[in-house]
Structure 1
Amino acid sequence: MEIEKFPFCPKPGYSVSNEPKRKAIQFGDGYQQRIADGLNPLLRKFSLTFKVPSKKKESFEDFLAKHGGVKAFYFQERSQSKLIKVVCPKWSETAKLRYSDFACEFEEVL
Structure 2
Amino acid sequence: MTDTFSWVPTRTGGGTANSLVRRAKFGDGYSQSAPDGLNARWRSYQLTFTGSQQRIDQIIEFLDAHVGRSFYWQSPRGLLLFQCDTHSEPLPAGLVHSITVTFEQTFQP
The bucket for the TM-score relative to the shorter chain is: 0.7 to 0.9
Distance (Å, rounded) in 2 between the aligned partners of 1:97 and 1:9 = 22
Distance (Å, rounded) in 1 between the aligned partners of 2:87 and 2:60 = 9
Pairwise CA distance, 1:89: 0.9
Say which is worse superposed, 92-101 or 58-67, in terms of deviation.
Answer: 92-101
| Percent of aligned positions that are identical | 26
Q: TM-score, normalised by structure 1?
A: 0.85
Number of residues paired by the alignment?
106
What letter is aligned with 1:73? F
Aligned to 2:66: 67
* Distance 1:3-1:18 versus aligned 2 partners, 3 A rule: same
Give runs of ≥4 in structure 1 deviating > 4 Å. none
User: Relative to total residues, which structure has the larger strand share, 1 or 2?
Assistant: 2
RMSD: 1.7
Distance (Å, rounded) in 1 between the aligned partners of 2:104 and 2:27 = 36
SS of match in other structure, 1:28 = coil
| Cα deviations by residue, 1:72-102 (Å, 9 ceiling, x for unpaired) | 0011136xx7311100010003433112211
Pairwise CA distance, 1:40: 1.6
1:86 to 72, 82, 99: 82
What letter is aligned with 1:24? R
Judge conservation of contact 1:93–1:100 (CA < 8 Å) in 2: no
Judge conservation of contact 2:3–2:72 (CA < 8 Å) in 1: yes
What letter is aligned with 1:85? L
**Is 1:99 aligned with 2:77?**
no
Distance (Å, rounded) in 2 between the aligned partners of 1:102 and 1:91 = 7
**Is 1:20 aligned with 2:19?**
yes
Aligned to 1:109: 106
Q: TM-score, normalised by structure 2?
A: 0.86
| Structure 1 residue ranges without an equivalent (≥5) | none
| Structure 2 residue ranges without an equivalent (≥5) | none
Pairwise CA distance, 1:39: 1.1
